Amino acid sequence: MQMKMNKLGLIVGAVVLACGVSVLRRPQGLSGPFELFHQIRELQKQNRELEIQIAEKQERLRRLDGSQSESELEVKKRLKYLKPGERQMVLPNVPVPAAPTDAPQPAPTSAH
């Protein structure tokens, strides 16, 4: 009976060893689980960032829903809507000239 248990233990050990070797010989080998772990961490980070963005947008919508004046300003800004009688000034994009330098000019020297 003891002999059969030893043989069974050796067979089970050999099967486990063969499975382990076959896993390590695959192209991904040991790097596969670590790569998956890294991908999971990246996706969790992206989820946190998206949750923050969603919370910010929900807060903005709540503010716009609660304040008539703020929602009117948003409509004016985004859609360029005006109330009757209002005027909108459109200024051209003119580059600002550089400030002149006030460095003193050297006096000309005359060589005779």
What does the chain come to in residues? 112
Task: Quote the CA–CA distance of 29 and 39 in Å, as a whole number.
Answer: 16
* CA distances (Å), origin 47, targets 36, 41, 103: 16, 10, 56
pTM: 0.45
Residue 88 identity: Q
Per-residue pLDDT of 83-105, as tens digits, reads 788 777 777 887 777 766 665 66
Mark out the alpha helices in the chain (DSSP H runs).
Answer: 2-25, 31-66, 68-79
Cα dihedral 6→11→15→21 (10° resolution):
70
Give me the residue spans of the domains in the chain: 10-79
Q: What mean pLDDT comes out for the span 56-73?
A: 87
Which pLDDT band, with edges at 50, 70 and 90, does 29 fall under?
A: low
User: Is the pLDDT reported for residue 40 higher than 90?
Assistant: yes
